[in-house]
Chains A and B, each alone.
Chain A
Amino acid sequence: MTRFVVRRVMQMLIVLFAVSVLTFLIFNVIPGGDPALRLAGRQPDPGQLERIRQDWGFDEPLYVQYVKTIGNVVSGDLVSYSTQQNVWQELKGRIPRTFSLAIGAAIMWMVFATALGLYSAVKAGRFADRFLTIIALIGISMPVFWVGALMNYYLGFKWEIFPNGGYVPFGEDPWEWFYHLLMPWTALSLLFIGVYSRILRSNVLDTINEDYVRTARAKGLSERRVLVRHVLRNSMVPVITLWGLDFGAVLGGGAILTETVFDLQGVGQYAAESIGQLDVPPVLFITLFGAFFIVLLNTIVDIMYAALDPRVRLA
C-alpha cells in the first residue's frame, strides 16, 4: 500500500509538471500572448510596455519566468495580469461552488445511470429498453448550453419553478443550496446519464450470460439478489473508470458550460473568462488544479477496482 501511494504521488508530480510546462509554453507562443499587453491597459505606449516587461521580469529567459510563476503558485502569490487580483484569493471563493456542482451531479448521474442501465438490460429488446435507448440518445445529443438555456428560460424565468441561476452556500441554507443547484446538476448529468447507462447496459448483458450468474440462479436466489450481487458488481468496473475521469474533470472546473449558463461563478467559469483574456496565471493555476483532481480521482478509481474485484492488487 505504501508503494502504491508513493508511486501515485510521483506520478501526480510528473503529470503536474508536464501540464504546467505545456500550458506555460502555449500561452507564451500564441499571437497576442504578450502579458505586458494585459497589464498595460488600453493603448499603451512602447515605453510603458518596456517598463512593465522589466518590472515583471518578462524579459528574462522563459525557464526563469516559469520557475518564478510556479514559485508564486506554490506560495499563493500568483497575480492575474488582467485584473491584478490574487489568483488564489479569487479561486478560493469559487471552489465551494464548483465542488457543490460536481459532487451533486456526480452522485446524480451515477445513481440514475446505474438504475436506468440495469433496468434497460433486464428489459433488453422490449419496449422499456427501446424507449430508454431513445431517451439516452436524446440526452447524449443535447448540448448542455442549450438544455441549460431552455431550463433557465422555462423553469426559471417563465414558470418560476426554480431560481434563475445563482448560488447559496450550503452552510447558509442547505435547502436553498439544493434548490439552486438542482437545475445545474440536471443539465450537467443528462449527457453522462445517457452515456453511462448505455455502457452499463451492455456490460450487464455480457455479465448476465456468465456461468456464475447461472450458478447464482441455481442456488435459488431471488432475481434481485442475482442482479445486484452477481451481475451489477461485475459490470461496474468500466463505468467506475469513466466516472473517476469525468468526476475529476468537473471537480477541477471542467463543467465550463454548465457553470457559465447557470452563472455559478465557479472555477470553470473563471477559467473561461481567463482564457478569453489570455490571462496566463489563472489559466495555469486552474489547469494544475484540474489535473490534480483528475490524477487524484484516477487513484481513487484504482482503489475502487481493488475493492470491486479481488483479483486486482494495488501496486
Chain B
Amino acid sequence: MSAQAPEPGAPLLAVEDLEVAFGTEGGVVQAVDGVSFELKAGEVLAIVGESGSGKSVTAMTLMGLTRSPNARFGGRAHYRDTELIEASENTLREVRGAEIAMIFQDPMTSLNPVHKVGDQIVEQIQEHEALPDQQARERVVELLEKVGIPRARQRVDNYPFEFSGGMRQRVMIALALSCNPSILIADEPTTALDVTIQAQILERIRELRDETGAAVILVTHDLGVVADIADRIAVMYAGRIVEEGTLDEIFYDPQHPYTWGLLGSITRVDRPRPERLPAIAGLPPSLADRPVGCHFRPRCPHEFSNCTEVPALTGDNGHRDRCWLSAQQKRELREVRPGEIGLGAKAGAEAE
C-alpha cells in the first residue's frame, strides 16, 4: 500500500513551517500554524481533519487562493524551483491550473452556470498553451471521455445545470487534468456526493494518478475515503499537523490521542454496532483563541504537566507525531491492538 517506488531526488513539493493567519473582527485567526510536509511524485497524501482544522486553507494557500488584504502568510512552499507563498501573482498564474490543479468540494457551485462546460475547460487549456480552438476542443472531448462522461462529444456543449452532481465533479476532474498538472489537489472531492458516486470518483482519481503520475493531495475529513486511496496521511488539528505517517502506520499504529479519537469514531460494518457512536468529548478550539501548548490538551484524556508546552512533530522513518507521551505510554493507553482499525470509546466520550 505505502509508496515503495524509488524516489528520484528531491520531493515535488516541500512545505516548510507554513503559517496562515486572517485578521477578522473577532481577532486574528491562526488558521494554519507551522505546517510542514513533503510530497513526492505519484504519491497520494491525505490531509485529514475536522472542519476548521486548517486543511483546506493549507491546500488553497499552495495555489494562492487564500490571498486577501487581511491574510498573513509565513513559511515556505517549494514546488520544483518555484517558491509559492511569496510568488508574484503572475508567477502563480502560470502554476495554477498548469502545474498544480484543484478539485473543489461542491461541484454544484464550482462551475460557472452561464458558460458551457467545454468552454470552461478550453479556457484553462488556452490560458496555458497556444492551442487552436479545434484542437483544444478535441482534447476536452478526450478528457471528458477519460473521466467517464458518456456521449462526451455532445456533452461538451452542455451547461453545468444539465449535469448531475457526480457528472459535474467528473467535469471538474477533467478541468483539473486538462493541462497535465504534476500535483492535483482534491479538496473534499466527494463530500457533496452520495456514497455510490463517491466510490466512482475516488476510483477515477486513483486511475488517473496511475496513468498520469500526478501526485495527489487529498483533503478530507472522511477516513473512509482516506483508507481507499491514500499512501500517506497527515492528521491536522486546530491548524497543526499532529501526526503524519503512511496509511498503515496511521490506521494500525496511531501515536497521537487525537488520531485515536478519530479512528474510534468511525463506524465499522464488520463490528457489532455500538449503542452510540463514540465521539471525542468537547469541541475544537476557536482559532482566534487557541489553548496554550498542545492544541488538543483541553479535550485530551491523557493530559499532563508537559502539555502546556507545544510538543514538536517528531518520530522515526517519517512516522511523526506531536505528543509528549512516551512511545511506551502511548502503547499502554491506546485501546487499539496491532492489526486492528478503530478504537474503543474513552471514558467521558459520551458527552456531546
Contact = CB atoms under 8 A, between A and B. Distances in A.
Nearest to A221: B127
Contacts of A210: 109
Interface string B61-86: 00101000000000000000000000
Contacts of B95: 220
Contact of A309 (B109, B113, B124, B128): B113
Interface of A: 210-212, 214-223, 225, 229-230, 233-234, 308-311
In order of increasing CB-CB distance, the 7 nearest A-B pairs are A220-B97, A220-B96, A211-B109, A219-B124, A212-B112, A219-B97, A211-B110
Contacts of A221: 93, 123-124, 127
B159 A310 contact: yes
Contact of B112 (A216, A218, A222, A308): A216
A219 B96 contact: yes
B326 to A, nearest CB: 44
Given A211-B104, A211-B109, A212-B111, A311 B127 contact: no
B124 to A, nearest CB: 4
Given A210-B109, A211-B104, A218 B96 contact: yes
12 contacts: A218-B96, A218-B101, A219-B123, A220-B92, A220-B127, A220-B128, A221-B127, A222-B93, A233-B114, A234-B114, A308-B114, A309-B113
Q: How large is the interface on B (under 10, 10 to 19, 20 to 34, 35 or more residues)?
A: 20 to 34
B98 interface: yes
Nearest to A211: B109
Interface in B89-132: 89, 92-98, 101-102, 104, 106, 109-116, 123-124, 127-128
Contacts of B97: 218-220
B336 interface: no
A233 B112 CA distance: 10
B263 interface: no
Nearest to B116: A310
B167 interface: no
Contacts of A217: 65, 96
B114 to A, nearest CB: 5
Given A217-B65, A219-B97, A220-B98, A212 B110 contact: yes
A215 B114 contact: no
Contacts, number: 71
Nearest to A309: B114
A233 to B, nearest CB: 6
B110 A311 contact: no
Given A210-B109, A211-B104, A218 B114 contact: no
B48 interface: no
B90 to A, nearest CB: 9
B175 interface: yes
Given A215-B175, A216-B112, A220-B95, 12 more contacts: A211-B109, A211-B110, A218-B96, A218-B97, A218-B104, A219-B97, A219-B127, A221-B127, A222-B93, A230-B112, A233-B114, A234-B114
Contact of B65 (A212, A218, A223, A309): A218
Residue in B95, B96, B110 with the greatest tally of chain A CB atoms within 10 Å: B110
B96 A215 contact: no
Contact of B102 (A218, A223, A230, A233): A218
B128 A215 contact: no
A161 to B, nearest CB: 41
Nearest to A311: B161
Contacts of B111: 212, 215
Interface in B155-186: 159, 161, 172, 175
Contacts of B116: 310
Contacts of B114: 233-234, 308-311
A220 B124 contact: yes
Nearest to A210: B109
B112 A220 contact: no
Contacts of B124: 219-221
A211 B106 contact: yes
B94 A220 contact: yes
A247 B276 CA distance: 64
